[in-house]
Structure 1
Amino acid sequence: MRPFCIAVWTWLLVLEGLFLLVSSQPLQSDESDASLVRNCAINPPYLPPTVKNTSFHLSALRSLMDAQNISAYVIPATDPHLTEYIAPRDARRAWMTGFTGTAGTAVVSKTGAAVWTDGRYWIQAKRQMDCNWELNSGASIVDWILNETTAGEIVGADPFVFSVEDWESYSKPLLQAKRQFVAKEHNLVDDIWGAERPPVPTENIFKVPNELLGATWQTKVKEIRRQMKYNRYKPTAVLLSALDETAWLFNLRGNDIPYNPFFQSYTLLTADWIRLFVNESRLPQDIKEYLNTTCTTSECVQLKAYEDIRKNVHEYTKGNITIWIGQEYTTYGIYEVIPKSKLLIDRYSPVQITKSIKDPTEQKGLKAAHVRDAVAVISYFVWLEKNVPKGTETELSGACYVNNLRSKQNYSRGLSFETISASGLNAALAHYSPNNETNRKLSPDEMYLVDSGGQYLDGTTDITRTLHWGTPTNFQKEAYTRVLMGHIDLARSIFPAGTIGDVLDVWARHALWEVGLNYRHGTGHGIGSFLSVHEWPVGIGSGHTWQLEEGMFTSIEPGYYEDNEFGIRIEDVAMVTKAKTEHMFGGISYLTFEHVSLVPYERKLIDLSIMNKQQIGWLNNYYEKVWKTMSPVLRAQSLIEEYDWLQKHTRPFSHSVLVTSSLVVLAGALLGNLLLQGRLL
């Protein structure tokens, strides 16, 4: 009996080894996928159905340029508040080019047209732009413009869609090359867009409920005035240009920007008065009373027309004043009317910095929002497990389903961004969102990435999980596990208070770097309290980062993307909190992260054999927290399937058992390899 058992065990190992050899082969891209991107190298060019014909737009713009003696025109993907997500009426670059990615700049010359964007969007741009547009990944924008123009010619742009830094990055080198960079206050794209341009928002502005507020607007104004008073440069006013600054300051919200509860506005705040620049017709009477708009004392808000901000600021500068601005969100269109001697410039305004540290009520609300959000995500994963094997669901149907689940949660105010529902090669696009042309059927044979989030009255959420319902390859498992290892290493990190977020970026990448892998996006971004899903200056490895302080919230989201095959990202939101350390060198407190997202990871993609004891211990502790927090919530809502799913997916991992298992599998792989080579035959 014993020899028989040994023989059976050996053959099981051999079969497993053979299976591993097959499953570890690289995924082969479907040749038909080439039809998803343009091919401008052939004649006639091949254009996929996702491409927009821009010939008419370019012809009309060049006619206007010629009439105004402009040789090149620069079109950023921004708005007058330098908002990341913009209103449809401000999506000028997308309308001109067909490319809808959130990052990138277009330039049109007399004979050429080009777009620059970062690596996240290269494939998307090739799917959406026709061959009128060059996708430039080599020459800088200024170098391209210099090649398209001659000395003495004019390069035009709308100063209200450029930050001060960006404007000067064009004007200085162009001036050195004897070109003129000229501000055109009236945007040329708006002229050719004409009546087709979406209208100005008119929906009423509303207030965050009192029970969800940690501070009144009067308290917040008092704090900003305190910072003005004790600033050594003694500013007399603070100018707020970013939309989330005014929304946060007054505890007001709107619906002007997709996925972001903002309204078009500016604020000019002094020690003696407050001016809110907004479309007054959008303020109901109760909001006007709430803002004390009928009086003129220091705690009364004076309402001014939105369009009058530049004129009003210019008028204010005639006195003995100093205006404090945050350079990151102030446009050149406003900056240029303020004498340099009357400016106090920081990268971020005092409101941005103050807003980034959440008070206890905001912390409580964000945590509560993530619990409700986890109910929606867990319910979605249960639905996927049941329906994907049937072959009936797609990226779009999946996105619609999870969006609907979120909408049913208490305090829901819609999505925090367009859901990224990406299967197979589509997931290799870090910020892909499905449409009718690219919609892919969800399959047990492909990895699936879903990055989604919600806006709730008490907080904003953002979470990414990567799933597999079939049998992943060894490489997919290793890549996923190394992304998870980086995620855990960053989550476990302990650092001195005041550490710049970028310093921590290496924790998230190190496990990938060890085997020559990496990703092209930042590792973390701040998140708002019913505000922006990307809230700067909090962040990690993004170029926007600031000193991390207790009470800040950031995402942790390393990833890996294999072009034309699959994508992996694991994203959670975490709160910066005090760490328990034995010592406190220099009297400085040390910080760490507390996870707020509460959804388990994909078990079948985790290879514990390459993880260390500390990483596995963190994973088990996290799963225990997820179970203890979410199981009573699911049971209370009679979500029995979800409860059972969570129990299964939060089982603790055993390091010793999995190491033994990995050795057995390795032995099987070796035996299988020897058999294939004929050495045991």
Structure 2
Amino acid sequence: MSIHSTRLAALRAHLQQSRLDGFVVPLTDEHMSEYVGAYAQRLAWLTGFQGSAGSAVVLADSAAIFTDGRYTLQVREQVSAADFEYVAVPATSIAAWLGAHAPAGGRIGYDPWLHTRAWVEEARAALAARGAELIAVDANPIDAVWSDRPVASDAPLVVQDEARAGVGSAAKRAQIADWLAETGADAVVLTALDSIAWALNVRGGDVAHTPVALAYAIVDADGTADLFVAPEKVSDAVRQHLGNAIRLHPRAAFAEALGRYAGKTIAADPERAVAAIFDRLDSGGATVLALRDPVVLTKAVKNPVEIAGHRTASARDGAALAKFLRWVEAEAPKGGLDELACVAKLQAFREATGVLLDTSFDTISATGAHGASPHYHSTPESNAPLELGQLYLVDSGGQYADGTTDLTRVLPIGEPTAEVRDRFTRVLQGHIALATAVFPLGTTGAQLDPFARRPLWAVGLDYAHGTGHGVGAYLSVHEGPQRIAPPSYPGGGPAEPLRAGMILSNEPGYYKAGEYGIRIENLILVEDRSFDGGAPMLGFETLTFCPIERSLIVAEMLSAAERAWLDSYHERVVAVIGAHLDADERAWLDAKCAPIS
């Protein structure tokens, strides 16, 4: 019996003792975070799944794991089919699956600190139709059987000073106070960790790759706030930075504090605040307004200081990746190079900048068939050598105090096939189409998404992930509300109009199961593109500079405008990152960026 089969059996035994017929295990924490601390990695502990999005349901005699199209291959490599049925979302929801598989009259448990109220209502309705019941547990049963569960991080808070943030915390809280006045609320509960970090100009180290601290905040209509965070995280310097307008409380006091708002009107985000928060506000006599966290949109529209910081961070990071690509190109054909060695070498190039604070996510270092899994994560068990005839894909980013980066490049190990070059060129054409798009105010990312897919659609191909996600300012590498994706795709969601100052990724791809993966990713900034006498328009400025592999491009497939874009882009690559390279590296870069036409 495997370790995960043993853990599944232990959970089932505990559920039986607790008079539960099943339990739902999401991959999130009490803040509805995408990336979570080690203490909250319950799904990975139970199933072995290492992806960044998924859930599982465990019943007495069956179990299922739910993942989207980004993880179709990965979940089958990491999770045993003997233990879990593979279920694709959004084609099938957890609620729908429960409605079809829960035992009639059964009691299905859930942790109200790990689900939204909307999810609870959907699951409760589906189970009721089955004659079953959804039960909120006081203690998560996974924790009861996870004997060596890590404790929550004790990393300290640090100040993100105004020179980096661009706007002081008092001004940001004044904006929130203005919003509260407009909505008629007395206070707003902030639960998203990046919202709290941005509003208070602090950062932390409680979640790998994302500089946030485990905390809650409640901002009042007068601009003061209550911050709930472990006391040992707060140094004198942080305390001085926060000032008297921010009252400090232990994080453990947050739940009780929610019951003290009788007669008050409190706003909370239905997507980011868990069901338990709404339940406690309701039971305490508060009037609750289900409204989007007011920080979300303000944070997404970067101020000039944040934009300037990103440009600086992007230049040094692009140079680090260029040095890495040159190294792989030289070393891989000799043999002996593998995915994890590449991860370590790229990390070393970034660390050589002297200012790297973290990577922005686990580096995707994928050769051959592994590249066909868009979110593949190399492990000692899956680690593969880079071999002649393969494509090597690297998707990575850095966390710097002045910006968060994310970029993807592909290079051939040896001679690429005609099919690979055709597919790569089509992905490049889609990338260029999006990078050069000009569009009216009010346009959403969902409306722009087809620009990137059209060259693939023309020959019956597509990719099963969104084309672009928002990116934070030394915060989360995946930031909403902006997206470039169909609403039904992972990362799709509500249609949010793009606004000048938003940073997104531009990352179309193509994946052939069992053979290779292709993705070209730069970050782009939404900017004003209005014309004299015309309607207000927007466009994109490309922020990422690193060579795009010319040997994979079929030049004859490119239009004159596409060739001009590529040549202009490569000219900018040399100008932006050339100064970060030595003479030999610069000579390599010049060759890589030579005109395609």
Fold conserved (TM > 0.5)?
yes
The structure number with the bigger radius of gyration is 1
> Does 2:180 correspond to 1:228?
yes
Equivalent of residue 574 in structure 2, options 605, 620, 627: 627
Q: State the shift of 1:286 in Å.
A: 1.5
Q: Distance in 2 between matches of 1:582 and 1:600?
A: 34
Equivalent of residue 135 in structure 1, options 86, 89, 93: 86
User: Following superposition of structure 1 onto structure 2, how do residues 109-128 of structure 1 map, counting pairs within 5 Å?
Assistant: 109-128=59-78
Q: What is residue 41 of structure 1 aligned with on the other side?
A: none
Q: What is residue 564 of structure 1 aligned with on the other side?
A: 514
Q: Is the 8 A contact 1:372 1:410 kept in 2?
A: no
User: Following superposition of structure 1 onto structure 2, how do residues 619-658 of structure 1 map, counting pairs within 5 Å?
Assistant: 619-634=566-581, 639-654=582-597
Q: Distance in 1 between matches of 2:117 and 2:351?
A: 39
Q: What is residue 89 of structure 1 aligned with on the other side?
A: 39
Gap change, CA 1:462 and 1:158, over 3 Å in 2: same
Q: State the shift of 1:140 in Å.
A: 4.2
Instruction: Tell which deviates more after alignment, 202-211 or 461-470.
Output: 202-211
Q: Counterpart amino acid of 2:376?
A: Y
Q: State the shift of 1:581 in Å.
A: 2.9
TM-score by length of structure 1 reads: 0.84
Q: What is residue 150 of structure 1 aligned with on the other side?
A: 103
Q: Is the 8 A contact 1:427 1:568 kept in 2?
A: yes
Q: Distance in 1 between matches of 2:580 and 2:387?
A: 30
Equivalent of residue 235 in structure 2, options 276, 284, 300: 284
> Does 2:10 correspond to 1:63?
no
Q: What is residue 440 of structure 1 aligned with on the other side?
A: 384
User: Following superposition of structure 1 onto structure 2, how do residues 420-459 of structure 1 map, counting pairs within 5 Å?
Assistant: 420-459=364-403
Q: Is the 8 A contact 2:21 2:107 kept in 1?
A: yes
User: Following superposition of structure 1 onto structure 2, how do residues 545-556 of structure 1 map, counting pairs within 5 Å?
Assistant: 545-556=495-506
> Does 2:160 correspond to 1:208?
yes
Q: State the shift of 1:325 in Å.
A: 1.9
Q: Counterpart amino acid of 1:251?
A: N
Q: Is the 8 A contact 1:369 1:461 kept in 2?
A: yes
Q: Counterpart amino acid of 1:345?
A: A
User: Following superposition of structure 1 onto structure 2, how do residues 282-681 of structure 1 map, counting pairs within 5 Å?
Assistant: 282-292=233-243, 295=244, 300-316=245-261, 318-319=262-263, 321-339=264-282, 342-346=287-291, 348-541=292-485, 542-544=491-493, 545-585=495-535, 589-634=536-581, 639-654=582-597
Q: Distance in 2 between matches of 1:518 and 1:308?
A: 49
**Structure 1: runs of 5+ lacking an equivalent:** 1-46, 655-681
TM-score by length of structure 2 reads: 0.95
Identity %: 36
Q: State the shift of 1:582 in Å.
A: 4.9
CA displacement, residues 166-223 of structure 1 (integer Å, 9 cap, x when unaligned): 22221122223322111113111001113x0011211211112443230111111111
Q: Distance in 1 between matches of 2:403 and 2:56?
A: 35
Q: State the shift of 1:427 in Å.
A: 0.5
Instruction: Tell which deviates more after alignment, 159-168 or 569-578.
Output: 159-168
Q: Distance in 1 between matches of 2:578 and 2:186?
A: 53
Q: Distance in 2 between matches of 1:77 and 1:568?
A: 27
CA displacement, residues 372-393 of structure 1 (integer Å, 9 cap, x when unaligned): 1011011101111221121121
Q: State the shift of 1:633 in Å.
A: 3.5
> Does 2:19 correspond to 1:72?
no
Q: State the shift of 1:580 in Å.
A: 4.6
Q: Is the 8 A contact 2:99 2:126 kept in 1?
A: no
Secondary structure class of the residue paired with 1:441: coil
Equivalent of residue 149 in structure 2, options 191, 197, 219: 197
Q: Counterpart amino acid of 2:233?
A: R
Q: Distance in 2 between matches of 1:518 and 1:276?
A: 45
Equivalent of residue 254 in structure 1, options 186, 192, 204: 204
How many pairs were matched up? 585
| Structure showing greater relative contact order (alpha-carbon pairs closer than 8 Å, 6 or more residues apart) | 1
CA displacement, residues 461-510 of structure 1 (integer Å, 9 cap, x when unaligned): 00000111421111101110000000000111011123111110000101
Q: Is the 8 A contact 1:559 1:569 kept in 2?
A: yes
Gap change, CA 1:613 and 1:582, over 3 Å in 2: farther
CA displacement, residues 409-436 of structure 1 (integer Å, 9 cap, x when unaligned): 1431010001111111111111112122
Q: Distance in 2 between matches of 1:447 and 1:364?
A: 34
Q: Distance in 1 between matches of 2:378 and 2:436?
A: 34
Q: State the shift of 1:571 in Å.
A: 0.4
Secondary structure class of the residue paired with 2:511: strand
Secondary structure class of the residue paired with 1:258: coil
Secondary structure class of the residue paired with 2:280: coil
Q: Distance in 2 between matches of 1:633 and 1:100?
A: 35
CA displacement, residues 571-630 of structure 1 (integer Å, 9 cap, x when unaligned): 000100111535423xxx210000000011010111122222222221122112112222
Q: What is residue 34 of structure 1 aligned with on the other side?
A: none
Q: What is residue 128 of structure 2 aligned with on the other side?
A: 175
Q: CA RMSD in A?
A: 1.6
Q: Distance in 2 between matches of 1:653 and 1:149?
A: 59
Q: Distance in 2 between matches of 1:506 and 1:75?
A: 34
Q: Counterpart amino acid of 1:329?
A: R
Q: Distance in 2 between matches of 1:528 and 1:143?
A: 34
Q: State the shift of 1:76 in Å.
A: 0.6
Q: Distance in 2 between matches of 1:150 and 1:202?
A: 42
Q: Is the 8 A contact 2:98 2:126 kept in 1?
A: no
Q: Is the 8 A contact 1:160 1:185 kept in 2?
A: no
Q: What is residue 162 of structure 1 aligned with on the other side?
A: 115
Q: Distance in 1 between matches of 2:569 and 2:113?
A: 46
Secondary structure class of the residue paired with 1:507: helix
